[in-house]
Each structure stands twice: as C-alpha cells, then as structure tokens.
Amino acid sequence: MAGVRPDRLRPVTPLTARDRALLDRLAEHEPLTTSELRLLFFTGERTCRQRLAQLERAELLLRVYPAAGRRGTGEALWFLTAKARLLLAAPARRTPSLSLPDLEHRRAVARLFCMLVVRSLQHRARGSGAGTAKPGPSTASAAASVRTATAATCFPTAR
C-alpha cells in the first residue's frame, strides 16, 4: 500500500452508506461477484453495475474476470484496491490469489452466504400475514433491511 499517495485517498465520487457497507463486506470476504453484490446491496441490476463501475473508476474496486473453468461462470469478481483498504483502515492483504483451491474455497463461502440471504428473503415474504400484505414501495426497503441484517449477522466486521 506504499504506492498510494495520501493525497489520492479521497474518492472522486462521494461514498454513500451503501458504498461503505459494500467496501467493508469486500474487506472481510473478497472476492464477491457482481450478482452477489447486487443481491446484498442493490435492488436493480443496472444501478448495481453503474455504481460498481463508478467505484472502479474511483480506484476503490478491482474487477477480475477469471477464465470459465470447471465451475467458473466467467462472471466478474470484485476485490478492494490498496487505496480502498487505506481509506477503510482495513488490514493489508496479499495480492489476490486466484489459485484454484483458494478461489474455490472463497467462492463456496460466498455462494453459501448468498443462499442464506435468498432463503431469508423468501422466508420474510412468506412470514406472518403472507397473502394479506399488499405489495408496495416498502417491499424494496424491507428486502434491503433483511439483506443488511443478514450480512451483518453472517459477516460481522471486526474493528
């Protein structure tokens, strides 16, 4: 991280609370795919892709496309940059390893976590009063709160 000048730490784009949560999650459990980040932090695919691209242009995220292998889909994997780690005061990590055993382990953990999030969203949709609730604008905020609570429970940030 010695290569990042302190005057370049401030991101070009102001960080939102969601951006900070996303960066914190990646600091603890990188890499995550675009679809996993969308599930955890966004309600729409377009918004997700646009915001990730903005964070990438601000040099906070690094996008890696692994070759589609045995189980790989070729979907982008997202890592934090050294600049983002300094901004968050996150511990330094070695250069991201894309060795098969390391990557498969990290991806299996991420897939399990995202399955738990999906199940909790489905459970909440079937919760008490299911069938009587009218869909409305609170649906997205309820899903977002479940995502945030589940993420905080399953991936607590140790600071």
Residue 149 lies inside a defined structural domain of this protein: yes
Q: What is the pLDDT of residues 107-117, one digit of tens each?
A: 788 888 888 88
Residue 16 lies inside a defined structural domain of this protein: yes
What is the residue range of 146's domain?
6-154
Residue 105 lies inside a defined structural domain of this protein: yes
Q: What is the pLDDT of residues 24-79, one digit of tens each?
A: 988 888 888 899 999 999 999 999 999 999 999 999 999 988 766 555 557 888 99
Q: Would you state the pLDDT for residue 95?
A: 56
Domain count within the chain: 1
Contacts of 55 by beta carbon, 8 Å cutoff, 6+ apart: 11, 13, 19, 22, 23, 61
C-alpha count within 13 angstroms, C-beta hemisphere, residue 33? 21
- Residue 33: strand pairing partners: 77
Residue 50 lies inside a defined structural domain of this protein: yes
Residue 159 lies inside a defined structural domain of this protein: no
Residue 62 lies inside a defined structural domain of this protein: yes
How sure is the predictor about 129, in pLDDT bands with cuts at 50, 70 and 90? Answer: very low
What CATH number did the domain enclosing 95 receive? Answer: 1.10.10.10
